């Protein structure tokens, strides 16, 4: 029913946002991965990112250019060490819970596609 309402193929609903974020990020990334996290992400996203063991780089709030630069810097540094990240995950919110700011989603999706990264979008304050 949710998927039909949203006009998407599939959807999943979790009973509690904090536990969803703090417990599920580690299902997507581990110590061999990179997380790019908005500086104003909710505490549940920060906790989930830390628990994953991934390298974490924080970028300026809602600043796609800063995120892209930091992504390239992190990848370059890793290459100089003779290694690479298994996966890159961008972690953002649709509507930031404490500020009420709205993400520039098309810009983040464009960078995600260009850099072959994944996107974790917390929509708890957008659609519920």
Question: What is the CA 74 to chain-centroid distance, rounded?
Answer: 16
- The three-point CA angle 115-36-88 to 5° equals 45
Structure confidence by residue, pLDDT tens digits, 17-41? 888 889 999 999 999 999 999 999 9
The whole-model pTM stands at: 0.91
Q: Could you name the CATH architecture of 14-122?
A: 3-Layer(aba) Sandwich (3.40)
pLDDT digits (tens, 9 = 90+) for 37-90: 999 999 999 999 999 999 999 999 999 999 999 999 999 999 999 999 999 999
Please list the residues that pair with 118 across neighbouring strands: 89
User: Taking 70 as the threshold, does the pLDDT of residue 95 lie above it?
Assistant: yes
pLDDT at 80: 94
Q: What residue segments make up the domains of the chain, in order of their start?
A: 14-122
Arithmetic mean of pLDDT over the chain: 94
């Amino acid at each position: 029913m949710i998927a039909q309402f949203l006009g998407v193929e599939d959807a999943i609903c979790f009973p509690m946002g904090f536990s969803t974020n703090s417990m599920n990020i580690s299902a997507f990334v581990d110590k061999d991965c990179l997380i790019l996290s908005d500086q104003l992400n909710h505490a549940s996203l920060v906790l989930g990112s830390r628990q994953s063991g991934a390298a974490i780089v924080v970028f300026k709030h809602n600043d796609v250019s800063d995120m892209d630069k930091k992504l390239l810097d992190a990848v370059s540094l890793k290459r100089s060490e003779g290694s690479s990240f298994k996966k890159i995950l961008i972690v953002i919110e649709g509507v930031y819970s404490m500020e009420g700011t709205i993400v520039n989603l098309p810009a983040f999706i464009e960078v995600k596609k260009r850099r072959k990264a994944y996107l974790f979008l917390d929509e708890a304050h957008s659609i519920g």
